[in-house]
Amino acid sequence: MEMDFLGETVIDEDTISRRVEELAQQITGDFVQAYGEETQLIVITVLKGAFIFLSDLIRLMDMDLRVDFMAISSYRESTRSTGAVRIFKDLSESIYTKNVLLVEDIVDTGLTLSYILRNLVSREPRDIRVCTLLDRVGRRIAPLDIDYVGFQVGEDFLVGYGLDYQQKGRNLRYICRLKTPDHDS
Ligand code: PRP
């Protein structure tokens, strides 16, 4: 497969899987402690980037859960989102009075997440918490409290484990940075 856009590995496969397991245990433990062994969780993911993380995370969560998806388009200026978001696939079930975990692959400016969170909170779930695999806190515009963070990352454009470069590279088992002519050629 032609992947000449890939630079050096930033987070390898073992490191990702160990952290995903820790997050799964922590999230399960927290919800069970708060709401009891029989509690049900609705796990929501915004397509596409988080689907790999979601699938690994939920298979390590030993609790009653359901999965639902949203698809949005965020209007971007070059690589930065503007905060304007259109939902073109909404949830298939109500989250009213439910416990919800929103799963993201990366939070960058935070504009996408803050829009989605406002939208979901308006549907009156009992509890809503956020888990992101990657947090690029240095680029944050919208202030956010994120409950569960896999890794803090820097400014590099990242590819792999669900994250894409022009829709390519989502299937990599690790996360690497984009090759740049200045650094990698
Ligand atoms: C990524 C990510 C978040 C958003 C974060 O999605 O999944 O939804 O960007 O950026 P922000 O914090 O600056 O708003 P992307 O638009 O790359 O789409 P994809 O998940 O389909 O790859």
Model confidence at 75: pLDDT above 90: no
Average pLDDT over residues 32-42: 95
Residue 143 CB contacts under 8 Å (≥ 6 apart), including other chains:
110
The per-residue pLDDT for 185 is 41
**pLDDT, mean of residues 35-40:** 94
Give the integer Cα–Cα distance in Å for 21 and 18.
Answer: 5
Q: Is the pLDDT of residue 4 over 90?
A: no
- For residue 36, report the distance from its CA to the centre of ligand 1, in Å: 33
Q: Computed from CA positions of residues 93, 67, 107, 163, in that sequence, does the dihedral angle turn out positive or negative?
A: negative
Indicate whether 182 pLDDT > 70.
no
Compute how many other C-beta atoms are within 10 angstroms of the C-beta atom of residue 104: 23
CB of 162 shorter than 6 A to ligand 1 = no
| Mean of all residue pLDDT scores within the chain | 92
Does the annotation mark 108 as catalytic? yes
Ligand 1: does its nearest atom lie under 6 Å from the Cβ of 112?
yes
Q: What are the φ/ψ torsions at residue 10 (nearest 5 degrees)?
A: -105, -40
Q: Report d(CA 54, CA 127) in Å as an integer.
A: 19
Task: Name the closest-CA residue to atom 10, ligand 1.
Answer: 108
The rounded Cα 21 to chain-centroid distance in angstroms is: 15
**Whether the predicted pLDDT of 164 surpasses 70:** yes
Model pLDDT for residues 113-162, shown as the tens digit of each residue = 999 999 999 999 999 999 999 999 999 999 999 999 999 999 999 999 99
Say if ligand 1 is within 6 A of residue 140 CB.
no
Q: Give the model confidence (pLDDT) of 103-113 as tens digits.
A: 999 999 999 99
- Phi then psi for residue 26, to 5 deg, are -65, -45
**Can you tell me the mean pLDDT for 8-15?**
97
Q: What is the pTM of this model?
A: 0.92
Q: How many CA atoms lie within 13 Å of 12's alpha carbon, on the beta-carbon side?
A: 1
Residues 6+ apart with CB under 8 A from 24: 57, 58, 60, 61
- Ligand 1 centroid–CA 136 distance in Å is 12
